[in-house]
Amino acid sequence: MFLKRLHALPWTELIILATGTFLALALRLSLLSFESGDYHTFFRPWYQAIQEQGFSAVVSLKYDYTPTYLYLLYWMSVLFPKLVPVAAIKLPSIAFDFLSAYLMFQLVRLKYPHGPAPIFAYFIVLFAPTVVLNSAFWGQSDSIYTAFLLMCAYFLLTDDGAYAGLAFGAALAFKLQAIFLAPLLLALVLKGRLAWKHLLWIPLVYLILIIPAWAAGRPLVDLLKIYLDQSRSYPFLTLNAPTLYSWLPESLYTVLYPAGVIWAVCLVFLFMLVVFKSRAKLTQGMILNLGMLAVLLLPFILPKMHERYFYPADLISIAFGFFFPEQFFIPIGMGLISFFAYQPFLFGRQLVPLEIQAFGVLVILVLVTHKAIRALYR
């Protein structure tokens, strides 16, 4: 299907896509040599252990990721044994940058089947500063699970519920932060746009993907409670994320952490109730609007968020801006806020106070919420 669509494009557009893709790849390759603090603390020791121990490292290593990510590192060590570790670690994330761009192309094409808009969306993803910094510079894996979230969003918009469940399950198998899109799936189930049975793919995909680590010798209980153990780490209200907790004292962590989690559950309930009680027909634009609201709301109101956890909102906001051109400033604003949030960890400087960044996210959240409610209750 992909090749057929490529053949359907004029030669000029194919040349533009090829040239831009080459430039995006060259940009990323120029940043491969940078070694972040996370690389030295986590990624390099993991990769070196995999090189020395092979697949059995998924059992012996102490890590707070699911083993799915380590599978990628293992295959990189097998397929490219002479590649320097920093490149081997970054290349999978870079590959998913391009998958995210292709999925954005397909998402925007639902709105604009003709014209240059999908190509612009493709290049906006590839050249967005936070997308480039996250994978090629920082070496993080946010592009991986977010690509599957974009895939899930595409299938939700095209009413392919089974594929949406599979894509969401794959996203969740890589990072717990995929859960940010869950309120949309639950709301669509309540509205009858998504069948309950399609949600069964989510735990099934996760279980299938932990089988290799289990077979290698890691206890099944440990694999099932990875995310539970992960939630107990980093006892801070915010880790440089522009959230509600930027305005609250860190000294109240023991009180505000459980209260914040409960409040998040309450707002997810309200989100689902507002969608359920609406009599409006859920169009593709409305579903995308609700998806944008979900991936923006949860990281803003949950404690313990890292600065990178707005990455899904950064990318989905690009599709949002194309579906609603009058809201073009929202993806620009999200991209800038995330860019400023990355500064302290990557470059050791704070260009914009975190409290101001959080206020910017709040403004965007209010605007996206207002648009969704107006559409649901005309």
pLDDT, tens digit only, all 378 positions of the chain: 555 655 566 778 888 899 999 999 999 999 999 999 999 999 999 999 999 999 998 888 877 788 999 999 999 999 999 999 999 999 999 999 999 999 999 999 999 998 899 999 999 999 999 999 999 999 999 999 999 999 999 999 999 999 999 999 999 999 999 999 999 999 999 999 999 999 999 999 999 999 999 999 998 998 888 888 877 788 899 999 999 999 999 999 999 999 999 999 999 999 999 999 999 999 999 999 999 999 999 999 999 999 999 999 999 999 999 999 999 999 999 999 999 999 999 999 999 999 999 999 999 999 999 999 999 998
* Per-residue pLDDT, 15: 87
* Per-residue pLDDT, 4: 60
Pair 265, 301: CB distance under 8 Å: no
Pair 110, 158: CB distance under 8 Å: yes
243 three-class SS? coil
CA-based radius of gyration for the chain: 20
**Cβ–Cβ contacts within 10 Å for residue 351, how many?**
11
* Per-residue pLDDT, 234: 82
Its pTM stands at 0.94
Of 222, 208, 216, 172, whose CA–CA distance to 64 is shortest? 222
Of 343, 361, 319, 266, whose CA–CA distance to 108 is shortest? 319
Half-sphere exposure of 69 toward its Cβ, with a 13 Å CA cutoff? 26
* Per-residue pLDDT, 2: 53
* Per-residue pLDDT, 7: 58
Domain extents for the chain?
36-51+58-227+234-376
Pair 300, 337: CB distance under 8 Å: no
Q: What string of DSSP letters covers 12-79?
A: HHHHHHHHHHHHHHHHHHTTTT---HHIIIIIHHHHHHHHHHGGGHHHH---SS-HHHHHHHHHHHHH
